Structure formats: C-alpha cells, structure tokens
Amino acid sequence: MERSVRPRWWAGFLAGIMLMAGMAAMSAERMSKKAAESKSSELEAAESIPGVDLGDQTRAVINVSVANVRLAPKHQAELMNQLLLGSPVTLLHRKANWFQIQSPDGYTGWVERQELAPMTEAQLEAWMTSPQIIITAFHDWIWEQPDAKSLPVSDLASGIILKRLSSSGGWIKVELPDGRTGHIQRQSGTEFETWKRSARGTPANIERIAKTFLGVPYLWGAASTKATDCSGFTKSVFMLNGIPLLRDARMQATQGREVDPGTAFEKLQKGDLLFFVGNPKKPGDVTHVALYLEKGMFIHASGQVRFNSLDPKSPLFAENRLKTFVSARRIL
C-alpha cells in the first residue's frame, strides 16, 4: 500500500478505508430491522441529552482493548461496531458521558468517555508518528512491571496499536493513548514498521489467520479476537494481513471483483469472500459473509467461528448456506 503524506503506515491504511467508504456510502448505516424500527426513538432520546462543547479536542484514540460503538448514547442501545485500542477517531458530539464518533471507515456511533482519549490534531499527529507496536498475540496483557506476576494494566487483542517506549530483555515498555504505561512480553507484539513490511495478504496467510479465530463466539456488532460477527471476522482477518475491508457484509460485497464460482464452486480460490442472503427471493439483500477455503469448505462466524461446506457430500454441509449463496468476490 502506498505511503501517505503522514510518515506512518496508519495514515495510508486509514485513507484506503475512507476511499472505500465513499464507494459504499449508500450502505454506510448498518442496522438490524429491529434497530431500524426503533431508530427514531433512539435518536430522539439522544437529542434530549444536552450537548457539551468539544473545544479543540475533536480527535481521539481508543483507550481500551475493545471499545463498543452503540447506536445511541446508552448501554441498552444496539452494538453497531467495535474498535481496537490505538484506533484514531473523530469526535462529533458529546452528550453526558458519551461521545458520538466517526471511525475511519465512515461509521458513526456512540462510545463512552472512559473508552477513549480525546486529543487535539497535534496530539493525534504525535501519537500516529510515534514508534509503535502492533499486538500479534491472539490475547495477552499489559503488565505494570516487566513481570507477569505484577498487576495488569489492560488486556490485549490481536491488532491493537501501542506506543513503544523502550525494551529490555524479554519485555517492551509501552504507552497507552491516555499516558498510562506498562510492559508487554516481547513475543506479544512486533515493531509496527517491521510488521508493515512483512504483512502479505496471500491466500495461505488469510487461511492461517482465519483458523486462529476458530471457536471465537459470535456477537452481533463485535469485531475482535474476543468475539465477532460475520463481517467483523472477515474484516479482522484481512486487516491482520494488511488489507482494509469495509465493516458490513453488504459493504464488503462491493469490494474486489466478482468471480464466477462455477457449477460446483470449482472456480473459487482460497481467500475469496462468499456472500449470502437472508431470503433467497431478495438476492440483493446480503446479510452474511464467509471466507472460502477449498473443495467447497469455508470458514465463517455463525454461532462461533467454524467450518462449514457447500458440498452436499461433506459432513460439514450447510444446506441453508447453499440455498442462500448469491455471489463471490476476490480481494486478493
């Protein structure tokens, strides 16, 4: 991916997401039918909360391992998305203890104040241009001291970005967006620049990363190694290979190029995206996405991240998926 004006890979990565978000602008608002029906009352509730002036702190960085992005500023509101620690966002409004944010892929939603660190443009620039570490371990912790018996500072998930301060022995000292510091084990992360140079979105790497998610529970709106929905899974797998995808299945169905699957899916390649509808009579209403592997086998988040097959002879055959399959697209 091309390097942008900013001296960090993050900026180019995010710019790519923004470009694709513009291409899929008609699909930018993601809601379930229930959320759509209740959207008016949710937004009316949000409007009734007095706003707060943001001043010059109109940017922020996610400050917890996984931040929940909700439809409205209350815990009962629908979970729309999740963002990882280290992700930059734009602050749009503040109401009580909630910020309305916009993520780099164009999503807007509400995040609690405790889940992010507000910043000025200059502070965000300093964060993005600092030496950084990307977490490559599936799960881990930041410890107060370079000792796994010390108190934890934060939990971690794969893909998280932290500021790198120093290293000694088997430990790296890191800083969170709000200035807290701690230590991670060296094997938990990689120098960001090193990772950027080595990230290769090959079919084999896509498969390898996808399989590490096996057993992760399904959660609507989730997108991390802790829990995920179907499009959160595919987005995470590609992101960990240095390739940005849009957030939702219907939005991902606009990316890459459409491919002819063949009469028995023999024309598909490992890493292709498979798209499904909830109602076969509505082929344009994509509701589910999966990653194709080989010989009819695919991996997806449904109940949990799992294998299934489009081959009726396979013990993993998913008849409902075969009936509702509508298209395949190639990103690689």
Instruction: Provide the CATH topology of domain 130-198.
Output: SH3 type barrels. (2.30.30)
Instruction: Provide the CATH topology of domain 9-127.
Output: SH3 type barrels. (2.30.30)
pLDDT value for 31: 38
Domain ranges of the chain: 9-127, 130-198, 203-330
Total length of the chain: 332
pLDDT value for 272: 98
Residues in the chain with pLDDT values less than 50? 1-10, 15, 17-50
Q: What is the distance between the alpha carbons of residues 70 and 204, in angstroms, rounded to a whole number?
A: 35
pLDDT value for 44: 46
Residue 312: phi and psi, rounded to 5, are -60, -20
pLDDT value for 52: 61
pLDDT value for 7: 38
pLDDT value for 299: 98
In 3-state terms, what secondary structure has residue 176?
Answer: coil
Asked if domains 9-127 and 203-330 share a fold, the reply is no
Residue type, 196: K
Q: Which residues pair with 307 in a beta bridge?
A: 299
**Residue pLDDT, tens place only, 99-122:** 999 998 888 999 999 999 999 999
CATH number listed for the domain at residues 203-330: 3.90.1720.10
Measured at the CA of 305, the angle between CA 301 and CA 308, to 5 degrees, comes to: 85
